[in-house]
Amino acid sequence: MGPTAFVTGATSGFGEAITRRFVAEGWRVVACGRRVDRLHALRAELGDAVFPLELDVRDREAVMAAAESFPEEFGPVRVLVANAGLALGLGPADRADLDDWDTMVDTNVKGLMYSVRALVPQMVAAGGGHVVTIGSVAGSYPYPGGNVYGATKAFVAQLALNLRADLVSKGIRVTDIEPGLAETEFSVVRFKGDAEKAAKVYEGVEPIRPDDIADTVWWAVTRPAHINVNRIEIMAECQAFGPFQVVRS
């Protein structure tokens, strides 16, 4: 079997599609997430190339231990896809739930930090690797209700650039993939299980699909070794930019 990818948030959406794509291409995948039943289902379906690893990326000690918590034949990890993340709520900043903000920072910012710090040393020791972060258009463009979610994704983009600055000449490539409107479980999570409200987000549009992002990740990691794709911003064709808000008296 081929090299190993370590994918956080492999239980649904982009992470699941990325796991399927890498396995289809002959790679092994350490597939991480909290819903371990889904990880075992992936293993049952895709076989020994998948190692299911129960992991909450907010748990610093668990993430540091996870870098060594897979069978020897899976190591060292060649590609980290730091994908686990979430948005909670879409309300204005003056009414947002502070616990939601904490959870987004703990997951999207601190969980990413822990994942990078845990996995990059083995890439450096092996003389090569690739960190793929999943940012968002929300990290570049503000929108009402995006508040802390967008800010966490700006962190993702800047950390990816700063990782390049640190790791250049060590054979470690870094790519931030920044999707727009994409249909996954993202909106069900954002609206706390309200499936009807979530479905409305994708009504009458053709959003990005998880396979589109898996394809983009695969493209980025299979570029020739002498180039690095710094960032990729990708929107659904139906999505574009709006005007600035101007409030008139």
Of 109-117, 132-140, 210-218, 226-234, which part binds ligand 8X3 (CB under 6 A)? 132-140
The least CB distance from residue 246 to ligand NDP, in Å, is 27
139 binds ligand NDP (CB under 6 A): no
Q: How far is CA 26 from the centre of its chain?
A: 21
CA 146/CA 87 separation, integer angstroms = 9
Residue reference for tokens 């994409």: 182
Please give the residues from 152 up to 191 whose contact with ligand NDP meets the rule CB under 6 A. 179, 181-182, 184-186, 189
- Catalytic residue, chosen from 141, 143, 149, 202, is 149
Closest CA to 80 of 179, 157, 160: 160
Is 141 among the residues known to form the active site? no
Q: Taking the CA of residue 135 as centre, how many other CA atoms within 13 Å lie in the half-sphere pointing to its CB?
A: 28
**Residue 83 interacting entry, from ligand 8X3, ligand NDP, none, C-beta within 5 to 8 Å by type:** ligand NDP
Edge-to-edge strand order for the sheet containing 50-54?
Answer: 50-54, 28-33, 4-7, 77-82, 129-134, 172-179, 231-234
| Shorter beta-carbon distance to ligand NDP: residue 74 or 114 | 114
CA 112/CA 129 separation, integer angstroms = 17
**Residue 9 interacting entry, from ligand NDP, ligand 8X3, none, C-beta within 5 to 8 Å by type:** ligand NDP
Q: H or E element: which one contains 148?
A: helix 147-167
| Shorter beta-carbon distance to ligand NDP: residue 86 or 126 | 86
Q: Taking the CA of residue 232 as centre, how many other CA atoms within 13 Å lie in the half-sphere pointing to its CB?
A: 20
| Shorter beta-carbon distance to ligand 8X3: residue 87 or 123 | 87
Torsion of CA 136, 140, 145, 149, to 10 degrees: 50
| Shorter beta-carbon distance to ligand NDP: residue 171 or 212 | 212
| Shorter beta-carbon distance to ligand NDP: residue 76 or 111 | 111
Name which position in 39, 119, 138, 177 contacts ligand 8X3 (CB under 6 A). 138
Which residues bind to ligand 8X3, rule: CB under 6 A? 136-138, 146, 180-181
The binding site for ligand NDP (CB under 6 A) comprises 8-15, 33-35, 55-58, 83-86, 107, 111, 134, 136, 179, 181-182, 184-186, 189
* Active site (catalytic) residues: 149
